[in-house]
Amino acid sequence: MSHQIITTKPKARINDYVSVDCVIFGFDFTQLNVLLVDRVLKDELTAREKFNDLTLTGNHIYEDEDLEAAAARILFDLTGLKDIYLEQFHTFGSPQRITRENDKAWLAANGRDPDQRIITVGYYSLLATDKVTLEWKGRNVRWFPVSEVKELAFDHMEILNEALTALRKKLLQEPIGFELLPPKFTLSQLQRLYEVVLGISLDKRNFRKKVSRMKYLVALDEKQKGVAHKPARLYVFDREIYENTRKELFDFAI
């Protein structure tokens, strides 16, 4: 949904009926987080808070923008980061998208027609949590552990859940997990990533056995620095080896 952005030149939206919503996932070596924005509605007369809840980050599409460019702009406005992994996962357009009173009141307070259907194109992105300085145009932006998010404004809980499903699926099929890790990582960090995103426990020995078969995970002659425990070996993901090995594969996983 829309969060107003103040720019020096006013840009024209392509229309009021389409938006882009970003589900920004972050990994902090312990848990999977999602970036959420505070939504506060105050009573115009009393200035008393009517409600205070959370939304995903979204915006309209401007005239010169492709959908993905709009998503990248939202990400940049929020984090100052460019060239972040972005994946369009689903477009939401149910007639029942906006049904709750808070959501209708919020739209009305922002000069919008609560009964107008808005189609929103969902993107998810992946980054390392510590990369982001969190502040956004006067509103509070915070990381929340995905497992603790139980309710969001509009249909954003559905959007978050769909994004998570799409992310899990993709994680099992393509090497996107490395987007959530630093360039050099330990096998424990990699294992933790899979456990956290998929919500499962993995047996360490089996995991190492699987990993040892992945030629594109290259062990460096280098170890962790500045850790309290015994430093572990560092690995890198070699995309070239990955691409070359994949060509020989034919999954046929029906």
Residues that bind its own copies (CB under 8 A): 14-15, 17-18, 61, 63-67, 88, 90-95, 117, 119, 121, 171-175, 177, 194, 200, 210, 214, 250-254
The minimum distance between CB 14 and its own copies, in angstroms, equals 5
Nearest to 187 by CA among 155, 214, 166: 214
Give the SS3 label for residue 56.
coil
The minimum distance between CB 121 and its own copies, in angstroms, equals 5
- For residues 234 and 165, give the distance between their C-alpha atoms in angstroms, rounded to a whole number: 29
Residue with smaller CB distance to its own copies, 133 or 173: 173
- Contact between 104 and 112 (Cβ < 8 Å): no
- Contact between 137 and 38 (Cβ < 8 Å): no
| CB-side neighbour CA atoms (13 Å) of 73 | 18
The minimum distance between CB 52 and its own copies, in angstroms, equals 30
Residue with smaller CB distance to its own copies, 35 or 61: 61
Length of the chain: 254
The minimum distance between CB 195 and its own copies, in angstroms, equals 11
Residue with smaller CB distance to its own copies, 81 or 176: 176
Q: What is the identity of the amino acid at 177?
A: G
The minimum distance between CB 132 and its own copies, in angstroms, equals 24
Residue with smaller CB distance to its own copies, 89 or 143: 89
Nearest to 92 by CA among 122, 117, 112, 60: 122
Tokens standing for residue 73: 């702009």
What is the Cα gyration radius of the chain? Answer: 21
Residue with smaller CB distance to its own copies, 41 or 214: 214
